[in-house]
Structure 1
Amino acid sequence: MDWLPAVMGILRSKLPSTEITIHSEDSPDLAAGLVRGKIDLAFMRPEKHSPGVQFKLLRHDPVLVFMPRDHPLAARSAIRPEDLAGQPYIGVSPVRAPTLRTAIEDFFKRNGLTIKPAHQAENLAMAISLIASTGGISLLPLYAQNLLPKTIASRPIQGAAPMVDLVIGYNEANSSPLLKFLLSKLEAIKFQASSRDGR
């Protein structure tokens, strides 16, 4: 939501006649598309086992706790790791969001937490729906705040919260002049996106 408008703005101003096709897919599918040469550029999480794919860091995103607005933990300004124990937990898919899942599991281990998901969300919309319908909590990246209904709240995690990287991915064998142009504008893209999200 922050990055695509910055890219489109640069493309429209510099290359108005270029045709752009936009796909919305999970990071593993985007990585596969980059490997096969079907996609030129992707905003994604860095995916392991993606031969020939290069990643350029855009930012580190903290993972937050998401819960119903009337949940007892929503009264706090920040959530301690130990507060998560015993809560109905909505996990994320190890197939659709492996990088996020690993970051959360590592966070649980570091804090001595044994938390098993009561439900598993296959995507962000499903996670938000499960939070609203079950009264459970979930750990999701910062950008999910942009998509919340009024009935869902988010709070930061106290201490060392799990982090996930947002990157631009591309195939190093791709010789597209358009790709090279966009990569040369990476700092301008970062500046425009950070101006939009206030970071």
Structure 2
Amino acid sequence: MELRHLRYFVAVAEELSFTRAAERLHIGQPPLSHQIQMLEAEVGAQLLERSKRWVRLTEAGKLFLDDARRVLSLSEQAVQTARRAERGEAGELRVGFTFSTPLTPLFATVINRYRRRYPGVTLTLHERSTLAQINALAGRELDLGLVRPPESALPEAVTTTELRRDPLVMVLPEEHPLAARKTLRIRDLEGQPLVMYPKTAGTGIHPQIFRLCRAAGFEPTIAMEAGEASTMAGLVAAGFGIAVLPSSFDIIRLSGVLYRPLADKDATTALLLAQRKDEISPLVAAFRAIALEAASA
């Protein structure tokens, strides 16, 4: 059964005239009559009573008309949904983010702006480490990821775009001797107990701190490990050591904790937007455009 047969039937049923229905459909009356006969044969029921002067719906035709209208309505809805998806206005978009990304103001800006512009899209957010996001992108479990520079090389299928660059800051107890200085350097960490992300966290901050310390001529001393930036700040407040975090995390305000910038030119980290190289989804393109727009503001 073809949709055009349903459209022909609905036109005849609404006009109750083959002549008027043929004019409405811009086809000849004999072909229209033939198509209705074919539809009735396929359905196995007479849908219309005909005479030279009138056309009437049979009981079967009345019931068939209701269903035919629903089918045509659903088919039009399906067409509109597909067109909206092609424009990036419908569907599901799966976006990953690291545990600390929501502390970056850019995150809220991008997510709120996207949801306002594309209310018909189901946006699902997944909290995962950088490494887990990259693996999920390669495995097509995520569509986009908000990540920090990874420790290892990216898979061939994944690419990243830098959204913003944050200087690293030292997080200190306010009574610490280094707190009296307005600017610090990596070498000031020598011999100091550090509170750090664990190596298994999949974040690039851990290996970066090791590289910076070694470049300054010493090995860092790890006192404690914690998986969350807020936990690290709390451990600093409790006197367990010093932490190094992106400057955007200074919104974590705890009594007894101070943030001091690091003057070393390589003491920076980036927030990256990761995606598959072969991605053609309009949903991804729309989110990427908003992220770049917000990042450049």
TM class by smaller structure: 0.7 to 0.9
* Residue aligned with 1:134, SS: coil
Whether 1:32 and 2:135 are equivalent positions in the alignment is yes
Partner of 2:237: 132
Partner Cα distance (1:55, 1:146) in 2: 26
1:76 and 1:139 mapped to 2: Cα distance? 16
1:14 aligned onto 2:117 = yes
1:154: which partner in 2? 259
Provide the C-alpha distance between the structure 2 equivalents of 1:28 and 1:123, rounded to a whole number of angstroms: 16
Partner of 1:169: 274
Cα gap change, 1:11 to 1:159, in 2 (>3 Å):
closer
Q: Kindly tell me: are residues 135 and 71 of structure 1, through their superposed partners in 2, closer, same or farther at Cα, counting changes over 3 Å? A: farther
Contact 1:71 1:135 (8 Å CA) reproduced = no
The higher-RCO structure (CA 8 Å, 6+ apart) is 1
Aligned mates of 1:60, 1:104 — CA distance in 2: 16
Deviation of residue 82 (structure 1)? 3.3
* Unmatched segments (≥5 aa) in structure 2: 1-103
Cross-structure match for 1:45: 148
Q: Aligned AA for 1:159? A: D
| Higher fraction of helix | 2
TM-score, normalised relative to structure 1: 0.85
Matched position secondary structure for 2:122? coil
TM-score by length of 2: 0.59
Q: 1:104 aligns with which of 209, 218, 221?
A: 209
3-state DSSP class of the match of 2:192?
Answer: coil
Unpaired segments ≥5 residues, structure 1: 193-199
Larger Rg: 2
Q: How many Å apart are 1:99 and its aligned residue?
A: 1.4
1:120 matched residue in structure 2: 225
Contact residue 68 and residue 132 of structure 1 kept, 8 A: yes
The code of the aligned residue for 1:90 comes to V
Question: Pairwise CA RMSD of aligned residues?
Answer: 2.0
Query: Post-superposition shift, 1:162?
Result: 1.7
Q: Tell which deviates more after alignment, 175-184 or 4-13.
A: 4-13
Equivalenced residue count is: 192
Instruction: Give identity over the alignment, percent.
Output: 23
Q: For residues 113 and 203 of structure 2, what CA distance do their matches in structure 1 show?
A: 31
Question: 8 Å contact 1:68–1:135 — kept in the other structure?
Answer: no
Once the two structures are superposed, residues 125-158 of structure 1 have per-residue CA deviations (whole angstroms, 9 ceiling, x without a partner) of: 3312221223410111112212232321110123
Partner of 2:30: none
